[in-house]
Amino acid sequence: MGSKTILSVVLIVSLCAAIFVTQGVAQTQTPWRRSIRNLINGYFVSLIPSMSSPEKKRKRKTTTKTNKKKPSPNPSLPDDLLMSIFARVSRLYYPTLSLVSKSFRSLLTSPELYKARSLSGQNECCCLYLCLRFKPYSNSTWFTLCRKPDQTLTNETTKTKSSGYVLAKVPIPPSPRAHFSSLVAVGSNIYNLGVSKSIYQPSSSVSILDCRTHTWREAPSLRVVPMSLSASVLDEKIYVAGSYKDDYGDSGSSKNLFEVFDTKTQIWDPDPIPCSETTCNFLNCKTACIDGKFYVVSDVIYRDVCAYESKEGRWDLVGLGSYMEHHLFLDSCCDIDNIWYFVFQGRFIWYDTKEIQWRHLKGLVGLPKFPPSARIRLANYSGKIAVFWDDVLPCNGGDNKKMIWCAEIALEKRKSYEIWGKVEWFDHVLTVPITCVFEKVLAVTV
């Protein structure tokens, strides 16, 4: 299959999916799905002669008209050919293509597809997943950032400012409730720790969302039921700090929780080194991995900081300095190349661990101002900052909604400890009810 033919196939798939999405009938009108599927399959079938050998072409020229068969009104392609085509399409188009038909969706979430991508030389890519709750105490709904193929086909010839990105709902059953501090990503998996069925029923369960197959599975549970927890990732291990109720102590008392989960072996560390409550209280704590250490910041009142050195198996009471411990309680932060970036009072800042001081992120030309009440989330998007924020729309007859926006910011380190940000694009990517709770954005590698 020549490169031009593959490109044509990719373009027609993208174009057909774009028509399907822009009509806004992805879930309601099956005739649209049939017509688009037939259009795609028909185009593929028309390309098959050009994919075959010259000898077969010459043989076909000698056949008589009487031997020709009429084409099927609903032509279809074998799964292995579709798999070969999908393996060469950017992963960012998969959510859109999955809307075409159930068979497409099945192929796009099959493990065999990623084997085919590897064999075809496609590198793993970074994808963003957002956790939303449409009501404060409801189960979680997941979305992923994807490309709109119609924008991709026209950006080079038009002056539109649309980024071509949109948030697409991940086609999975209702997901367990999740919170900012209990969600972490390792490789192609998202871990939800301390999964609870309701706000009044804490749990030790751990669930894993496979972002390739879009399926949930259970992982080994925590040893105790946590009252609160916060998790961070270091060297493909999940470090969990928090508190749990001491059934053998005073009524209502709590003890520190500290556990380590190896994502490669899927086993909890049998002998984690505990941290004494007299050193640092883990109740309602926040965690972060900085300079190869696991840091725990105690609750909002005391803000004590202790660090775990995994190589030496030792806890130390430390000080991050320059109010770093206060900023870790902000949910608008991310770590890129061991530098922590935050949005504080509507402005981007970053923390220099060597100089132990705060600096402003310069540049950012064209980035809109964040609304004062905006909920802001950051993620490490292949070495760039992906920032999401919401903006409430004016009330329209009681139908209150808000828009979720996204921007991608490239980073450039310059002399004199300066980091500049270049806004590569920003756009409105989703509209949700005003009651929707924006929990977290995570970057996975698929």
Query: What single-letter amino acid sits at 213?
Result: T
Q: Which two tokens stand for residue 213?
A: 């197959």
Q: What contacts 285, CB < 8 A, 6 or more positions away?
A: 228, 230, 241, 242, 243, 296, 297, 298, 299
* Number of separate domains in the chain: 1
pLDDT computed for residue 211 by the predictor: 92
pLDDT computed for residue 73 by the predictor: 42
Q: What is the CB neighbour count within 10 angstroms for residue 341?
A: 22
Instruction: Let me know if residue 18 belongs to a domain.
Output: yes
Q: Round to the nearest angstrom and report the end-to-end CA distance of the chain.
A: 25
DSSP tag of 175: B
Buried b (16+ CB within 10 A) or exposed e, 388-411: bbbeeeeeeeeeeebebbbbbbeb
Domain range spanning residue 98? 3-56+76-119
How far is 350 from 102, CA to CA, in rounded Å?
Answer: 45
Q: Would you call 28 exposed, middle or buried from its count of C-beta atoms within 10 A (0-12, 13-18, 19+)?
A: exposed
Instruction: Let me know if residue 343 belongs to a domain.
Output: no
Instruction: Let me know if residue 88 belongs to a domain.
Output: yes
pLDDT computed for residue 253 by the predictor: 77
Instruction: Let me know if residue 34 belongs to a domain.
Output: yes
Instruction: Let me know if residue 434 belongs to a domain.
Output: no
Contact status, residue 422 vs residue 348, Cβ threshold 8 Å: no
Contact status, residue 205 vs residue 195, Cβ threshold 8 Å: yes
pLDDT computed for residue 154 by the predictor: 42
pLDDT computed for residue 102 by the predictor: 81
Task: pLDDT tens for the chain, 446 residues: list them.
Answer: 444 444 444 444 544 444 344 333 333 344 434 444 554 544 444 433 333 344 444 444 444 444 454 544 444 667 778 877 888 887 788 887 877 778 888 888 888 887 777 777 666 789 999 999 887 777 899 999 998 765 544 444 344 456 789 999 998 877 888 889 999 999 999 999 998 766 667 789 999 999 988 999 999 999 999 999 999 999 999 999 999 987 755 556 788 999 999 999 999 998 888 887 767 888 888 999 888 889 898 875 667 888 898 888 888 887 655 566 677 777 899 999 888 899 998 999 998 777 777 889 999 999 999 999 899 999 999 999 999 999 999 877 667 899 999 999 999 998 878 999 999 999 999 999 998 988 999 999 98
pLDDT computed for residue 324 by the predictor: 67
pLDDT computed for residue 152 by the predictor: 43
How far is 341 from 264, CA to CA, in rounded Å?
Answer: 28
How far is 106 from 83, CA to CA, in rounded Å?
Answer: 11
Chain center to CA of 46: 37
Instruction: Let me know if residue 23 belongs to a domain.
Output: yes
pLDDT computed for residue 27 by the predictor: 38
Instruction: Let me know if residue 347 belongs to a domain.
Output: no
pLDDT computed for residue 269 by the predictor: 92
Read out DSSP for 7-61? HHHHHHHHHHHHHHHHTT-TTT-HHHHHHHHHHHHHHHHHHHHHHS-HHHHHHHH
